[in-house]
Structures are given as structure tokens and as C-alpha cells.
Amino acid sequence: MANVLVTGGCGFIGANLVPMLRKKGHRVAILDNFSRGSRDYLDDVTAYEIIEADIRDEDAVIQAAKGRDAIIHLAAYGSVVESVAAPEENFSVNAEGTFKVLNAAKKAGVTQMVFSSTGGALIGNAIPPVNEKSLPKPISPYGASKLAGEGYCCAFANAYDMSVTALRFANVVGPISWHKKGAVTAFFKAIMTGQPIRIFGDGSATRDFLFVEDLCRGIISGLDAKKPGFNAYHLASGREVSVKELAEIARKAASAPDHPILFDPKRKGEVERNFANYDLAQKELETKYQNAEKQRAALQNSLHDAESILSQISEKHSTELSQRDFAQKKAEQKYQTAEKQRIALEDALQDAQSSLAKISEM
């Protein structure tokens, strides 16, 4: 089995990936600067060699890469919206940082790398479903930085006889994502705290949601395949779900069908429609997904996470959390206690399976 270095291994995707790598017999080391990741996200912190460093510190990456068979490069900065607000930092981490990881791999004698790229942000406003032949036209600094990363991956693969696989991720959901700012997490947090669900635009924008375990299987397949040269693959569900539909699913899953939705102006950099065809990955990497079941499980896990976070919030505030009465017969409702909210969420978990059946019908 391989000796693998995972950059960003203490983040959302990394913390889901590393135990799966370990179960397959791989030796796993993690390089993370802990700007957003945490050791607490790991299944067993003692099972991994953990190196605290920034990917832009090339000397540190070289030392971490020595003796490894491969690098899985997950470390990245922010999202589309954050890249619009801070394009300099986005470029520094995602473009320059990826170059330094590739250069460190070359200097350390590591000939294989798997790179976490993106689908929708890289391609831009193309007519979906997009695939590996779609022409990239990013409309955000985030998408541009990932395209630059893919460019350097292709260059290093050809110039230095490396195996570099770029995996273009869909919108990933699942456990250990409560600290993230994606739609699923944001919608459940809004429901928990009695705030309106915020949708940017009219809700018709679409996304491709992929369960994190499926994504990690795709990453491991890319590692195991060790394709020569440079290769790019979309890892996606192939299902198009509108943001408004997702909000409705979240409301029903949380037994809050009348929870208010606020429509804000559309944000710059975000694509209108986004879902991808993953046939090439399925063919060449033997990547298979169980989309509907896994997506239902992802939202259920979000509800489980909600219970945990709710407990933390109740301790922090020590008083009752406000939550609006969703029954139209009541104009106002007294504050509910955190205990009542936990009970409500427990009941919601029982209803989530049937409430989320719509996903399989999409």
C-alpha cells in the first residue's frame, strides 16, 4: 500500500478521506495549517502523522513529501464568494500554493499527485451537463485559480513525467461540514436559530450535490488508478437540483415547512446552472455512486450535526433560543427552550427519509 501525504487533511473532505485511506491499508500523513481544519475532525488523531505547515512554505512541503508515494492535494482557500472578496489571498493559496506543492513533489521525488479541482466554478456559465470536453470559462477568481492549478498540473505531468490527476468536485455535502458555508449547512443553521433561509437570486440557480463518501471513493480511485501523464475527471452526481428545491427539502426535513425564505440579490461570481456528467470517471476510474440514498444520508447527518451544535449554542447563551412558530394559527410564540428544539430535531430525523424522497425523483 502507498505512503500518502494529504494536504488539508484536517478539513471537511480530508477528515472524511483519511480514515478511508487508512482502512485500505495506506499510510497517511497530513499537512494542514489549521486555518479552517481541526484535529478534532479526525476519527483518531493518533493514527496519523500530522505536520502543521502552510502549502506556500515550499521547504516545509518538501520535507513533508520526502519518502511519500503520492500527494493528495486538498488544501485550498475559500469559496467563490470569498474569492470575489479577497482575490489576492485566493490566488496566493490556490494558484501559487498548488504550484509550490507540485514543485515540492518534484524536488522530493514524488511522481504522483491527485489535485482537488472544481466543476462549475472552473467551467463557468456553460449549458449543463458539463463534461471533460467543456471549455473552461471561469467567472470567479476561485474558478480561475483552480484552472491555473490544473494548468500547472498538466505542465508538471508532461515536463517531469509525473502522474497527475485533477478531480473536479461537485458541491460536496455530508458529515464534518458544519463549519462550512455551503447551502445545506446555511439552511439548517437558519432553521435552528429562527432566522430566514437566505437565497441569493430567485432560487432557480442549480447545483450538483455529491455525498462526501462518494467523493472520497472517487479520490481513492484516482489514486489507485495512477494514470500516466495528466488527466481530469468530473466527480459529480449528475443530478440538477435548484437552490429553492433544496430549501424546500431542508424545511420539510426539519419539520418546518413554513420557515421563512428571504430572497437577496444574486452574488457576483456564482454560476446559474451547474451539474456534470461523470461518465468518464465511471469508465476510467470505475467510480460508482449511490446518489439518492447518499444524499438523503447527507441531509440526515446535517440534522445530527444540528443537534450537537444546538447543544453548544444553548450552553453559550444559557438562555432560551428564539424560534418562530410555524403554524399559521398562531401569530406569536414564546421562546422555545433548547431541549424542545432537540426534541423537534429528533422527530425530524424520523421524518427525514420520507421528506427527502424527492431527491431520488429528480
**DSSP letters spanning 125-187:** SPPSSB-TTSPP---SHHHHHHHHHHHHHHHHHHHTT-EEEEEEE-EEESTT-TTS-SHHHHH
Question: Locate cell 475532525: which residue?
Answer: 41
| DSSP letter, residue 327 | -
How many angstroms separate the CA atoms of 357 and 209, rounded?
Answer: 15
How many angstroms separate the CA atoms of 53 and 29, rounded?
Answer: 12
Cβ neighbours of residue 34 under 8 Å, at least 6 residues apart?
Answer: 10, 52
Cβ neighbours of residue 128 under 8 Å, at least 6 residues apart?
Answer: 206, 240, 273, 274, 275, 276
C-beta separation of 94 from 77 below 8 A: yes
Residue 314 burial (C-beta neighbours within 10 Å; 0-12, 13-18, 19+): middle
C-beta separation of 9 from 31 below 8 A: yes
Closest CA to 141 of 91, 68, 100: 91
**What residue type is assigned to position 203 of the chain?**
G
Spot the catalytic one: 48, 77, 142, 233.
142
Query: Is 142 known to be catalytic?
Result: yes
Question: Locate cell 464534518: which residue?
Answer: 176
Residues annotated as part of the active site? 142
